[in-house]
Amino acid sequence: MCGLAGMARLGGGPVEPHQVEQLRAMSRCIAHRGPDDEDLLVDGPVGLAFRRLSLVDPERGGQPFVSEDGALALIANGEVYNHRALEAGLPGGARMRTDSDCEVLLHLYRHDNRRFLDAVQGMFAVIVWDRRRGKLVLARDRFGIKPLYFHRGRDRIVVASEIKALFQDPGCPRRLDWTRALADQSLQSSALFAHGPVNTWFKGVEAVPAGTVMEFDLEDGAVTRHRYWEFPDEVDHSLTPAEFIGGYGELLASSVEMCATADAELGLFLSGGIDSAAVAALASRTTPLTTFTVVNPGTFANGDAVNARRTADELGIPNHQILLDAARVPAPDEWRELLWLQESPRCGPEQFYKRELYRAAKDLRPELRGMLLGQASDEFNGGYAGQFGTSWPQALAAFEQMAGRTAVHRHPEVQPWLDHGTAPLLGAAAFGPADEHFPDAYHQYVRWKYRDVQQYNCWHEDRNAAGSGIEARVPFLDHRLVEHVLRIPPALRERLLWDKSVLREAMRGVLPERVRTMPKVPFFYGSGERQVRRTFVEMLVQDGGILLDQAFAGSGAREFLNPEGIRATVAGLARDPGGMPVEILLRLVNLGLLEGMLDTLPPAPSERPARDLASFATDGDFGTEGRRQLAERMLPHSALPEEAVLRLAEHVDLLQSRTTPDTWFLMVGGEIAYTVDESDPVERAWLTLLLDLDDARPLAELVDRADAMWPDLEPILREALEEGVLTRC
């Protein structure tokens, strides 16, 4: 991970001295992305600034890379994983001056111009100054893993890895785009498919599209775009399920091996699920790893933290459990710092916990430079299908409904016809011409997830990692891997994509069976969710609600928001955090806070003092006493006397697995919230108690009948009561 910044004058004329100082200011804004080195190059109408984080060839891999004749200069942020193979295929006469993986991009551009990224595997953002042709070239990887933004003014272009650097240019507007932000599907969380460009949230700021090379002619300002990768929409009927599974396993192993290669220390964020566990198992074959896990009210209550520790032990990998209990409420200034780092109104609980995890990891391992993640497996492997139904046909029907709602949303003028008749009266043509990119509703769904990965996953993972001088690496976003699963034909999707079967089957023999078959558990949603939401409601009301006051201070906020309505909603959530999700409400508050920051730009993230992280580290004691103590810290609102009488809530069912009789599932609202494993003595006692609940006995008696001790089951009962899985009679 590195930081890029640049400017180019349109119409001729060299970069002036005051603009060089502006370029230095842009570089300072992104110093956290590259704390190891800084270089500037000013050449005629173009200035480039590079901030380096050293992962490959620390001694000689500095940038910019400049061709021998001085006609080309290139800076790049990211990793080119197949650089050795690309170097071997260069034409005669090309000579590498360093061992940096990114230097090959200069030679590829010299030879192939706009086609220079066609064969590159990796994650990257690139700026090229092509003096020969008078062009500034901007490009990004296929999934937009590495960021690159630009503002084009009347007489110049400014470009940078983060938006905050663009605001150093006096010509770049400092205005929030309220209208576009409030209409964005990802901010609304509406049940619609969105496939448009990524929203930068600020007027006059654009993101270089993923999978695209942009050329700016500095003489006349003309812009050309070359799309070097298209999202695949063709399926392959020639492969059997076994061949799809085998191919997936080989590609994932290859991607992990590439991502786990560095000349610096790497870590891994480990949850209790299969995605990060698969990366851990494959990467640890060749690379020493230290893993890190968040223990917050959500991951404690839903068992994710416990499962992560068990997985690390089974794989023989060190695991640091980072404790963030219910008392860990972000301070107002701390939230503003995080929001400015993120530059996105979608900043929420997940970003806070991830930020703290990165900071704690860096505190525990100061030499850490890269972090492997299990991100983006769910998006393309069918991992979220279970949120749309209890079977693949139900999920597919939900996709069809979303496609229909999306069509109506785009053509509201025909909406009244949908209110007539007992069956649909209109054909598909009424909603506009068919889109050739979407052969079916499932493809609309994965196209939507492609945008969401860029708008959300890659954005916040990049910013959080950058804030601690760490590079996030995402093996599941290897384009070969994504192309492979998207070629699965409709007839095989249920077999291979429901519950991520293609990944689970590929990991047979690689992961312990317990881990390989572990149901998906959200990062903090589900069990423990109420306490997490309570934490962020407390953040909004602390210090007299100062964050709300700051959010409503701007002219745009007063025009586009209803402060009284938002305050009333926050007050309601303070009484009952089970109402409107606080993370949705936070998005409106964040918009107002961002608007206020534009008046007086906050200091760069690298200039902020570090907080004491010593209290976050825990040894992960999940034994009986440790679990009891953690329950008191994580779920302080769930006091439970032994004489209480409880029952299962109406929306909760207890079901036994058909394939693994020792495994039971607590289903909440039709989704798995808890997994109960009879092979574990405490969980077996918990299951016995659950099966006895209908007898309306006091808890102390039920615990005795389960042949258990009160301290063993009391923490679990507290969690279940807190989350509404159990209710008092």
In DSSP terms, 124 is beta-bridged to 78
Distance CA 665, CA 216 (A): 57
Buried b or exposed e, range 218-231, using 16+ CB within 10 angstroms: beeeeeeeeebbeb
Indicate the domain borders of the chain.
2-175+193-227, 241-383+441-516, 529-599, 639-728
Mean pLDDT for 339-358 is 95
Q: What is the largest distance, in Å, between two alpha-carbon atoms of the chain? A: 86
Q: Which of 132-141, 552-561, 618-627 has the lowest mean pLDDT?
A: 618-627
Question: Residue 287: what pLDDT?
Answer: 93
- % the chain with pLDDT above 70: 92
* Range 638-641 contact pairs with CB under 8 angstroms and sequence separation of 24 or more: 638/718, 638/719, 638/721, 638/722, 639/718, 640/699, 640/714, 640/717, 640/718, 640/721, 641/699
DSSP 510: T
CATH of domain 639-728: 3.90.930
**615 with 321: CB under 8 angstroms?**
no
729 is catalytic: no
At 654, is the secondary structure helix, strand, or coil? Answer: strand
Q: Which of 107-121, 445-459, 624-638, 678-692 has the lowest mean pLDDT?
A: 624-638
Q: Strands across the sheet with 617-618, in order? A: 471-473, 368-372, 265-269, 290-295, 319-323, 617-618
Judged against a pLDDT cut of 90, whether residue 453 lies above it is answered with yes
Q: Which of 2, 259, 347, 458 is catalytic?
A: 2
Question: Residue 522: what pLDDT?
Answer: 55
Judged against a pLDDT cut of 60, whether residue 547 lies above it is answered with yes
Distance CA 87, CA 104 (A): 6
Q: What pLDDT digit, counting tens, does each position of 695-718 carry? A: 678 888 888 888 887 767 877 887
User: If you classify domain 2-175+193-227 with CATH, what class do you get?
Assistant: alpha beta
**57 with 98: CB under 8 angstroms?**
yes
Q: What pLDDT digit, counting tens, does each position of 82-125 carry? A: 999 999 998 876 788 888 899 999 999 999 999 999 999 999 99
Q: Which of 439-443, 456-460, 603-607, 704-708 has the lowest mean pLDDT?
A: 603-607
Distance CA 687, CA 676 (A): 7
Distance CA 18, CA 80 (A): 35
Judged against a pLDDT cut of 90, whether residue 584 lies above it is answered with yes
Question: Residue 435: what pLDDT?
Answer: 59
Question: Residue 57: what pLDDT?
Answer: 59
Q: What pLDDT digit, counting tens, does each position of 487-509 carry? A: 999 999 999 999 999 999 999 99
**573 with 676: CB under 8 angstroms?**
no
Question: Residue 606: what pLDDT?
Answer: 64
Q: What pLDDT digit, counting tens, does each position of 296-314 carry? A: 887 887 778 888 999 999 9
Distance CA 239, CA 311 (A): 33
Judged against a pLDDT cut of 90, whether residue 616 lies above it is answered with no
Mean pLDDT for 689-697 is 83
Could you tell me the pLDDT band of residue 615, with boundaries at 50, 70 and 90? very low
Q: Strands across the sheet with 46-52, in order? A: 37-43, 46-52, 2-9, 156-160, 149-152, 206-207
Mean pLDDT for 537-563 is 96
Other Cβ atoms within 10 Å of 211 Cβ, number: 20
What are the phi and psi torsion angles at 111 (to 5°)? -90, -40
User: Please, what is the average pLDDT of the chain?
Assistant: 89
**552 with 561: CB under 8 angstroms?**
yes
- Of the two residues 182 and 532, the one the predictor is more confident about is 182
Q: Where are the alpha helices (DSSP H) in 216-302?
A: 241-259, 274-283, 297-301
Question: Residue 59: what pLDDT?
Answer: 62
Q: Which CATH superfamily is domain 241-383+441-516 in?
A: HUPs (3.40.50.620)
Judged against a pLDDT cut of 60, whether residue 210 lies above it is answered with yes
Judged against a pLDDT cut of 50, whether residue 614 lies above it is answered with no
User: Nearest Cα to 174, choosing from 589, 600, 591, 560?
Assistant: 600
For residue 684, give both structure tokens. Answer: 């077996």
Question: Residue 184: what pLDDT?
Answer: 94
Q: Which residue has the tokens 């940038």?
A: 63
For residue 293, give both structure tokens. Answer: 């896990």
Distance CA 715, CA 721 (A): 10
Cβ neighbours for 76, distance < 8 A, ≥ 6 positions apart: 2, 4, 63, 65, 102, 105, 124, 125, 126, 127
- DSSP string of 115-183, one letter each residue: GTTTT--EEEEEEEEETTTTEEEEEE-TT--S--EEEE-SSEEEEESSHHHHTTSTTS---B-HHHHHH
* Range 687-695 contact pairs with CB under 8 angstroms and sequence separation of 24 or more: 689/713, 690/648, 690/654, 690/666, 691/654, 693/646, 693/647, 693/648, 693/726, 694/647
Other Cβ atoms within 10 Å of 61 Cβ, number: 21
Q: Which residue has the tokens 């996030």?
A: 472
Judged against a pLDDT cut of 60, whether residue 366 lies above it is answered with yes
Judged against a pLDDT cut of 70, whether residue 433 lies above it is answered with no
Q: What pLDDT digit, counting tens, does each position of 388-418 carry? A: 888 999 999 889 888 888 888 888 888 788 7
